[in-house]
Chains A and B, each alone.
Chain A
Amino acid sequence: MANDHHAGKGCVREQRPDVEDRRDAMRVLALAGAETLAAAWSDWQDKPRIEDIRRAETGLVMLRGRIGGDGASFNFGEATVTRAAVRIGGSVGHGYVLGRDKDKARLAAIFDALWQGEARARVEREVLAPIRGDIAAADTRSAARTAATRVDFFTLVRGED
């Protein structure tokens, strides 16, 4: 429902489960800390040759909300986004990440390229799995801290029946 006005694009997503998997990998790379990706790349054995096909560049993406949370869209402010693209073997990897960190965008592109090739399982295991674990742990802790602030209402009984 949320994607009604991009119905065409939504259909593309639903029909291509490989795209969903890649989107999920890219989500993890975008949420990762720059140092985490740098360390993962530093630890990567047998580094392949990388061709930079789009040098990292920082720009703006206009963010949109929906009127009332669920109505027509409106622009509510921009965000800095940095993107890069690399070719590794036959794969073109794209990095799109919030912020201005060019190294992070390029590393995200490198891992996206590797993920599309024969090294997918290795990227999943050595790079994405630990980051997924960190994100899940942080989210669980945040949710638990929020849950501790949940109000438990109780009723005071006055008088006797």
Chain B
Amino acid sequence: MYVAVKGGETAIRNAHDLLADRRRGDRAVPDLTLAQIVEQLALSVDRVMTEGSLYDRELAALAIKQARGDLIEAIFLVRAYRTTLPRFGAGEPVDTGAMRIERRISATFKDLPGGQLLGPTFDYTHRLIDFALAAEGETAPPAERQPAGEETPRVTDLLAAEGLVETSLAAAPEAEPGDLTRAPLEFPADRDLRLQNLARGDEGFLLALGYSTQRGYARSHPFAGEIRFGEVEVEFFAEDLGFAVPLGRIAVTECQMINQFKGSAKVPPQFTRGYGLVFGQSERKAIAMALVDRALRWQELGEELTAPAQDEEFVLSHSDNVQATGFVEHLKLPHYVDFQSELELVRRMRREQAAARVEEPGEDAREAAE
């Protein structure tokens, strides 16, 4: 039986008005501007762009404001927005080797060409609350120093020169990478699709999975070979022009994880790699992504499947926080009819059980009588 229920329009409208009121909060407090969010909550913006899978700082800021700071809600809004836009095409692959570096560190080589550039980082802070930030006051401009003008080669290239690390496989000339915004994910998934899924996957989920690999669930002895953050140029091959048009720059974080590998019948012992690439300065996410990327490569590298982080169907099917929140949160929507039928079922089972007891008095009844 299907029962249509209507009602609640006024309640819903008033609830949304109340939400808008709460979003604005105390009118004595100035309204938050998008520029303030872009500039001062930049890492929230980066996360919303990364997991919303759409690079647009101001749009992400607006989503954060609309979502009252709930980042998963903001990510949901960004994903919904992108469905309203036409797709012009795909960009040329970005060249992270040509990045304008704002931060570049290696945990594997102290003295590497180009140096260790700490950039704007929370690392080495003492994580003490800075009460000075609660007071108004200007921040002094940071120190400057003449750049050394050295090249900053990838750490993986330095190791590759000695043949100690696996080299990246180039694609077949005309191979188009898979795109899970166009075709549903199918298993087994190739590494390009896995990386696309991980790039937009939930940071918390990937963080936990990456952590699990370090604790022994698919241990792969990782080293952060290199983490770099900065701007890369984006180009788009415009058919109407016949050449690749520069569109501007985007900020990205790249993580090159280097993992131990004892070798196989075909391959001598060498380091293998996990890769992370995300929008903005999303370092934790990039590291976690690289750990999980490496764990998911167990089959290709002839390793055993022993842990959740290696199980691509488990990982890739549960990484998307928009899908996850949709299914988990739908539980709070009305299930009145479903529940009525469950309620009726439980009542009937109880009646039947009680009736069965009366017909055949069991142990309990006899004991009670004695």
Contact = CB atoms under 8 A, between A and B. Distances in A.
Interface of A: 2-7, 9, 12-13, 16, 19, 23, 26-27, 30-31, 57-81, 83, 85, 94, 96-100, 139, 141-151, 153
Interface string B71-115: 000000000001001111111111111101111000000110001
A27 B245 CA distance: 8
B88 A59 contact: yes
5 contacts: A9-B243, A67-B191, A71-B169, A79-B247, A94-B241
B248 A98 contact: yes
A55 B199 CA distance: 33
Contacts of A16: 243
Contacts of B273: 68
Interface stretch (B128-136, B143-151, B305-313): B143-151
B175 interface: yes
Contacts of A99: 56, 58, 248
A23 B246 CA distance: 7
Contacts of A61: 87-91, 234, 236, 247
Given A60-B85, A72-B168, A142-B102, A147 B146 contact: yes
B261 interface: no
A85 B157 CA distance: 42
A8 to B, nearest CB: 9
A19 B242 CA distance: 10
A9 B111 CA distance: 38
Contact of B196 (A3, A7, A69, A75): A75
Contacts of A27: 233, 246
A19 B254 CA distance: 31
Contacts of A4: 170, 173
Contacts of A98: 55-56, 234, 247-250
B143 A151 contact: no
B25 interface: no
A61 B278 CA distance: 16
Interface in B328-344: none
B119 A143 contact: no
A62 B173 contact: no
Nearest to B180: A75
Contact of B247 (A2, A96, A151): A96
B55 A19 contact: no
B27 to A, nearest CB: 29
Nearest to B228: A69
A71 B160 CA distance: 13
Interface string B3-22: 00000000000000000000
